[in-house]
Amino acid sequence: MSTEDAARPVIPATMQAMVLDKPGTPLRLMALPVPMPGPQEVLVKITACGVCRTDLHVIDGELPHPKLPLVPGHEIVGTVVRTGEQVGSRKIGDVVGIPWMGYTCGTFRYCRRQQENLCEYALFTGYTLDGGYAEYTVAYEKYCFPLATQYAGPEGAPLLCAGLIGYRSYAMKGPELLDAAIIFAPAGELVPAALQSVDKGPIACCGRNGLSAV
């Protein structure tokens, strides 16, 4: 056995996965084959996967035309264990996060305008692609984001949807100080951060469990 072979992760033939057979029914634990990555995909051994409200919408049948049967879950943290032959930017051992958006065409109008979230041909993790309620998943290289070591576990998973949406909103707001800030998380240390981000005479609204304080 070469040194390179010895360093290569051992990948089993099958994995445990939670599967949605039909919307409105409970997920079922079953053994599935570990998927093979396509040319532009990586195989990721999953460390953690968060639960987002959108997962519940999919499971309850409130989003149309999911892939069925489906492995839900789109807040995925894991480690790359195999790469497709055209993969260039990810390698075995990389810690990555996999979000809701799993594929875009990269060709037509919205993708060309940097509005790939509107791509007509988009595919979504845990909805039209299998997701993260399993031991392994495949994902397109372009939609695997490198993660810092401190986010390599369960604490990193919510960043792949809730965190990503929050950051995008923050990035789109411009550099100016805010007129108001809304805190959704029940974490007191966010209050000073919110107050530093607002202009004079600010409103910092703490919304939690149906209560709001200003």
Q: Smallest gap, in angstroms, from Cβ of residue 23 to Zn ion?
A: 17
Identity at 120, one-letter amino acid code: E
170 binds Zn ion (CB under 5 A): no
Among 32, 51, 92, 105, binds Zn ion (CB under 5 A): 105
* Measured distance CA(54)–CA(59) in Å, rounded: 9
Stretch that binds Zn ion, among 26-34, 35-43, 86-94, 157-165 (CB under 5 A): 157-165
Instruction: Sort strands 136-140 and 123-124 into parallel, antiparallel or unpaired.
Output: unpaired
Q: Residue 111 or residue 206: which is nearer to Zn ion going by CB?
A: 111
CB–CB of 61/78 below 8 Å? no
Q: How many residues does the chain have?
A: 214
Tokens 């974490």 found at? 187
Angle at the Cα of 27 (from 154 to 103), degrees rounded to 5? Answer: 60
Among 17, 48, 52, 95, binds Zn ion (CB under 5 A): 52
Other Cβ atoms within 10 Å of 47 Cβ, number: 17
CB–CB of 44/144 below 8 Å? yes
**Could you tell me the two tokens for 155?**
């604490």
Q: Residue 120 or residue 179: which is nearer to Zn ion going by CB?
A: 120
Q: Residue 83 or residue 125: which is nearer to Zn ion going by CB?
A: 125
- Contacts of residue 29, defined as CB under 8 A and 6 or more positions apart, other chains included, come to 16, 17, 18, 19
* Measured distance CA(121)–CA(40) in Å, rounded: 16
Q: Smallest gap, in angstroms, from Cβ of residue 108 to Zn ion?
A: 5
* Measured distance CA(29)–CA(44) in Å, rounded: 19
Binding mask 115-154 for Zn ion (x = CB under 5 A): ----x-----------------------------------
Stretch that binds Zn ion, among 90-98, 104-112, 181-189, 193-201 (CB under 5 A): 104-112
Q: Residue 54 or residue 79: which is nearer to Zn ion going by CB?
A: 54
Q: Residue 114 or residue 149: which is nearer to Zn ion going by CB?
A: 114
Q: Smallest gap, in angstroms, from Cβ of residue 109 to Zn ion?
A: 8
Among 71, 80, 161, 183, binds Zn ion (CB under 5 A): 161
Under the rule (CB under 5 A), what is the footprint of Zn ion?
A: 52, 54, 104-105, 108, 111, 119, 161
